[in-house]
Structure 1
Amino acid sequence: MTHPNTVTRAEWLEARRALLEQEKAHTKQKDEITKARMALPRVLLEKEYVFETEGGEVQLADLFKSRSQLIVYHFMYGPEWKAGCVSCSFWADSFNGLAPHLAERDTAFVAVSSAPMSMITSFKKRMGWDFEWVSSRPNTFNADFNVGFYPDRPDDSPMMYNFKEIEAAQMDEMHGTSVFAKGGDGSIYHTYSTYGRGLDITNAAYAYLDMTPAGRNEPSSGNPMAWVKHHDAY
């Protein structure tokens, strides 16, 4: 880490005020992007999806509970995996406590993985998480929303991740977030999805690290997140 210059309080204040103007411009730009995101067109879902929960099978509509909006975190955890994805777990450490705040804004939240419910329940207990987490096994939800790349994909459509066609996936599952809305007649619409670094804004640890002099302090080559572990493994 290269240390910045040491200056007087007055000099620091001048530099901080200059940075504040950049931060304000960034906030205004972010607000405009949020408006554009809210104005995106939507796609009517015609396929029905059944999920496994701790209480039995439910449909996608049930995951909304009494809300009109649903946020889904696509958590990488497959049937053959020994544990949930380390990076996804890094994100999930920010999820506890979200539900009541989102519910107040008419929004439900759920994580979805292809691992069976027994594996999800066990790993969730190990991590000490209380957010809702369900299994998409054996439906095509993950593949349909471009986070599942399995040998038995349901059709010959090209594989896509982050809105680009890919010849091969790095793993059989990738992470992302998708958003859905329910109409007054019960119809469900896909309104938004984001993948890769589009999820950075939802990671509390990264948000705080970005305020520090060292920042994330990750390597510029290779896997920048190689340092991340499950929170009980540090």
Structure 2
Amino acid sequence: MGKQDQPHVAPEVVDRARFDAALAEQVVAEKEVTRHNDRVSAGRRRLPMVEVPDYTFTGPSGPVRLTELFGDGYLLLVQNVMFGTDWESGCPSCTWAVDNLPADMHRLTDEGIAFAMVSQAPIEKLEAWRAMKGWDHLWVSSAGTGYHYDWGWTQQDDQGAEWPQPGYSYYLLKDGTPYLTYMTTARGTEAILPVAQIMDRTVYGRQQEWEDSPAGWPQYPTYG
């Protein structure tokens, strides 16, 4: 059975009064999550920032500096897409994350936030993957720079094996200098993935094996 097949299991059927009471209890817990998230966001706005070199990436039309990714603004969100130098295709989960971006990216630019993607693979591979997926986002290659290693977006073990990391970097351009103000990876990326948030609120959740779900609820390997 796949995710598109309706499971046989379902929640207990109750009367309206019991449902309203259970929902009200859930709303209390969710309001505390919202308030806690507000407190965490307040702390995020109080983080210090660190200067970042003005890396020269390779874009579709040639060299492009980090500061140029800001366009005419001063805020920049960079999605670090996993696409290794010797890979022939982009990471499936990162591809899914890009597909989660707003259909109208002007909603970001209207708020003064520029957006770009960066990966280690050569620009030719990135452009081919972008064309196949129908994306119109600016995607640059960090090949030939220290960007991925300097900021931990590519990890190395003692034997020299490498593995990239997915995530987002948030930058501020101040007096012509780029600064990193926040970055997140792993499950920290979920905050801006609307499909994941929608799935969380359905009766079966994401249907992933790590979730705490009732007995019999459908669950599948996370990266299957």
TM range (shorter): 0.7 to 0.9
Distance apart, 1:10 and its partner CA? 2.2
Match of 2:181 in 1: 191
Distance apart, 1:220 and its partner CA? 3.0
Letter paired with 1:18: E
Structure 1 residues 96 and 3, CA gap change in structure 2 (3 angstroms): closer
TM-score, normalised by the number of residues in structure 2:
0.86
Alpha-carbon contact 2:81-2:167 (below 8 Å) kept: yes
Distance apart, 1:224 and its partner CA? 4.1
SS at match of 2:11: coil
Distance apart, 1:24 and its partner CA? 1.2
Alpha-carbon contact 2:171-2:178 (below 8 Å) kept: yes
Distance apart, 1:171 and its partner CA? 4.9
Could you list the per-position Cα deviations for residues 8-30 of structure 1 after superposition, in whole angstroms to 9, with x for gaps in the alignment?
Answer: 12211121111111111111111
Match of 2:223 in 1: 226
Alpha-carbon contact 2:77-2:114 (below 8 Å) kept: yes
Distance 1:168 1:12 in 2: 56
Match of 1:215 in 2: 205
The 5 A counterparts of 1:1-234 are 3-45=10-52, 47-97=53-103, 99-149=105-155, 171-183=162-174, 185-220=175-210, 224-227=221-224
RMSD of aligned residue pairs (Cα, Å) = 2.2
Alpha-carbon contact 1:96-1:130 (below 8 Å) kept: no
Could you list the per-position Cα deviations for residues 116-138 of structure 1 after superposition, in whole angstroms to 9, with x for gaps in the alignment?
Answer: 11111111111121222111111
Alpha-carbon contact 1:87-1:225 (below 8 Å) kept: no
Using the TM superposition, name which of 89-98 and 171-180 deviates more.
89-98
Give the number of equivalent residue pairs.
209
TM-score, normalised by the number of residues in structure 1:
0.82
Distance 1:129 1:49 in 2: 24
Distance 1:49 1:43 in 2: 15
Distance 1:127 1:109 in 2: 17
Distance apart, 1:3 and its partner CA? 3.4
Runs of 5+ consecutive residues of structure 1 not aligned to the other structure: 151-158, 160-166, 228-234
Letter paired with 2:163: D
Alpha-carbon contact 1:95-1:131 (below 8 Å) kept: no
Moved beyond 6 Å, runs of 4+: 167-170
Runs of 5+ consecutive residues of structure 2 not aligned to the other structure: 1-6, 212-219
Letter paired with 2:223: A
Could you list the per-position Cα deviations for residues 24-46 of structure 1 after superposition, in whole angstroms to 9, with x for gaps in the alignment?
Answer: 1111111111111011001122x
Could you list the per-position Cα deviations for residues 137-187 of structure 1 after superposition, in whole angstroms to 9, with x for gaps in the alignment?
Answer: 11111111101135xxxxxxxx7xxxxxxx78985211111111011x211
Structure 1 residues 168 and 68, CA gap change in structure 2 (3 angstroms): farther
Distance apart, 1:198 and its partner CA? 0.7
Alpha-carbon contact 2:101-2:193 (below 8 Å) kept: no
SS at match of 1:181: strand
Structure 1 residues 125 and 206, CA gap change in structure 2 (3 angstroms): same
Distance 1:77 1:60 in 2: 19
